[in-house]
Structure 1
Amino acid sequence: MKNIFTIVLLFATLSFYGQDKKISFLDLVGNNIQVPRGCEAQSVYELQACNGTSIKWDYYSTDMLNEVFNATISAFAEGNSSKTEVTFTSFGGQLKGYKFKMGTTFQYFLMGTIKDQPLMINLGTPKDITKSDDLDGFLSLFFDEVG
């Protein structure tokens, strides 16, 4: 009887821990953003390959943010002459950065502060976002304005 109970407990544990924990909401500085239907979040800070668009953000201290952002831009700009300045607004915070054209896609690196939290956002998309009207679909859940 003890062996049966142990086996049942083992299978219950394996089935509970073996299940994928699907992430339903992303967390952008305490703002919950529902993962769009048909898309899958890698973590509460990253959405990959959702209709050709991927977005990820990382939190930093102010000093570390500047260092990481500048190093990222320097490395990405090497051999890429399509660097353009951009400004986005997200949840009341202004994010400044650069857009790079990479073949048929655009890579955006943004840094700023939302709710007193310094962060860097990495956005890859097939869309050339030049104005707020270009923020269709789920991107309008992350960004309010483009300037």
Structure 2
Amino acid sequence: MTAELPPPGPDHFAARRTLWWARGPNEPTPTESTPSRQRLEILLQRDTDEAWDAGLNKVWNGLVSGARLKKRLPLSTVIKILQAGWIRDGTWPKGGVAPDPDDVLEELPQDAEFAVLSTTTPDYTSRVTSPPSGIVEGATGGNRTLQAQANTTTLDSMDGRHRGE
């Protein structure tokens, strides 16, 4: 199934997002609880070397090596297996929790100018505003100069000292 998409920009993004969220023709069926999956869940509840050696290590090694699972597992179970392995190899601290995300977007005013980056086309900006007047960037010799309105500060790139001019 191919869809006619608008040119790159906010409408293109909205159309792609709509297609992404639409149910596909090959919607996966829910995973059924099998005896082996129930055994795996029991092993995940125990935090012992015996549980690791009884099968968790094999599943974890398969996951991190890129092997395909023989039977489907819920994502929550896969995450528990990966985390158990990361704790064992020292990648994840025992008792550690993931930090809150720091990439939450703030609400922009409706009339705000913005640039939309596209990951699907070489034309990666759809709308860009120019910088405020009076701000000019330039490079001269070994120095980087940023002139902001009437104030000029030069950063000597060799030793990092600031000097006003």
Instruction: Place the TM-score, normalised by the shorter chain, in its bin.
Output: under 0.3
Which protein is richer in helix relative to its size?
Answer: 2
Which protein is richer in strand relative to its size?
Answer: 1
Q: TM-score when scaled to structure 2?
A: 0.19
Instruction: Determine which structure has more spread, i.e. the larger CA radius of gyration.
Output: 2
